[in-house]
Amino acid sequence: MEYQGKELFRRVGIATPRGHFSRDAADVAAFVAENPGSWVLKSQVLMGGRGKAGGIKFADTPQQASELASELLGKVLKNVQNPDGERVSALLVEEKVAIASEAYVSITIDRSTKKPAVLVTAQGGMDVEEVAAHDPEAISTFWIDPAIGFSPFIARRLAFAAKLPLGFHKHFPAIVGGLYKLFMEYGANLVEINPLVLTEDGRVIASDAKVELDDNGLYKHPHLAEWRNESPADEDQEAAVAIGLGMSNYAKLEGDIGVIANGAGLGMGTMDAIRNAGGSAANFLDIGGGAQAELVKKSYQLVVSDPKVRALFINIFGGITRGDQVARGIVQALAGDDVRKVPLVVRLTGTNEKEGRAILAEAGMNPVETMDEGARIAVDLARA
């Protein structure tokens, strides 16, 4: 959430507004009473566009703060990103700053170059996708070689290329350097400041924060585990974590054909193949790389526990993941009498595929050769 992202920002030296995290309206009012001034009450939810959804309010007095906090806490915010909505259970109360200018800066992985990409634009406060669609030349990008790392000239070059107001320039190298340090040390997929604010008194501060950490790197920072407990996880996320997957590795969908694949791209490709064959996926499940037999078994059990699943397509391209381990997991899953059985289609290719095929053949299963073939058979089985 935002307040957690800003805590990480402060650890790497990036300035943020004065603020107070709270889950109680009386506590919010007491804070405003002790710190007279103008304050912003920001709903802490895992969705963008909070302002348009009514999740941000302004208060100048303790009474206003109490009333608005009571209004926000418990409210369900909905927008295009999250039509079902998310209930507000916490607020971040921050000083209202006098804004002279806004910018946008982020670092994410560019998988085509296998490098972190730094994106900067002077059009802060807007969705970067919107800027890219209407004014792509306004976004400046630099790809950092991880073997060399960050150098201040990168930030200076980006500041000039993006035509940031001069007030940003002095502070920008330290801000981008801090973001890069956070990105690398904490194993992030994305770090984003939108907007990065230049105040009328010359400060440059992160007015908002978005940090997406890779679940696979959290073991290096066990102190962050408690943050996960504070963040609302839906049933799908809890189910994924319970069997040893990341929070974003499993999600239920509306169809009736279960999907298990190794890799998000292959999983989405499998779902597309099912749709092209006239069917609909019941879930997305990325089993990840290097999956062992036990995880395959638990993933199978998780998918078929959904009563609407009428067939299951397991699509594995072996790289780090070994075909024989996947095959053993499938056989182990089907051996239990307490596990629901559904028609199963398996595609194994890559590392140890011959060994995997042999294990499946011994258990009476014949894997398919291609993804499209597997999708077509799974759709036929679901309709039978």
Q: Which of 273, 296, 274 is nearest to 285 (CA)?
A: 296
Select which of 2, 86, 94, 192 is catalytic. 192
| 104 tagged catalytic | yes
3-state helix, strand, coil in the chain (%, to 5): 40, 25, 35
**Which H/E stretch holds residue 166?**
helix 166-169
Judge whether 179 and 194 are in contact, CB under 8 Å.
no
Radius of gyration of the chain (CA): 24
Distance CA 15, CA 198 (A): 11
- Contacting residues for 16 by C-beta, under 8 A, at least 6 apart: 6, 9, 10, 205, 206, 207, 209
Select which of 3, 104, 186, 250 is catalytic. 104
Q: Which of 267, 103, 264 is nearest to 193 (CA)?
A: 103
Across the strands, what pairs with 259?
313
End-to-end CA distance of the chain: 45
| Pairing assessment for the beta strands 86-87 and 76-77 based on DSSP bridges | antiparallel
- Which string of DSSP letters, residue by residue, matches 239-284? HHHHTT--TTSEEE-SSSEEEEESSHHHHHHHHHHHHHTT--BSEE
| 219 tagged catalytic | no
Distance CA 89, CA 78 (A): 14
Q: Between vectors from CA 289 to CA 265 and to CA 282, what angle results, nearest 5°? A: 50
Distance CA 211, CA 3 (A): 10
Neighbours of 320 (CB within 10 A): 12
Distance CA 301, CA 228 (A): 25
Long-range CB contacts for residues 138-145, cutoff 8 Å, separation at least 24: 138/162, 141/117, 142/117, 142/118, 143/110, 143/113, 143/115, 143/116, 143/117, 143/118, 144/107, 144/115, 144/116, 144/117, 144/118, 144/180, 145/115
Neighbours of 354 (CB within 10 A): 10
Residues serving a catalytic function are 104, 192
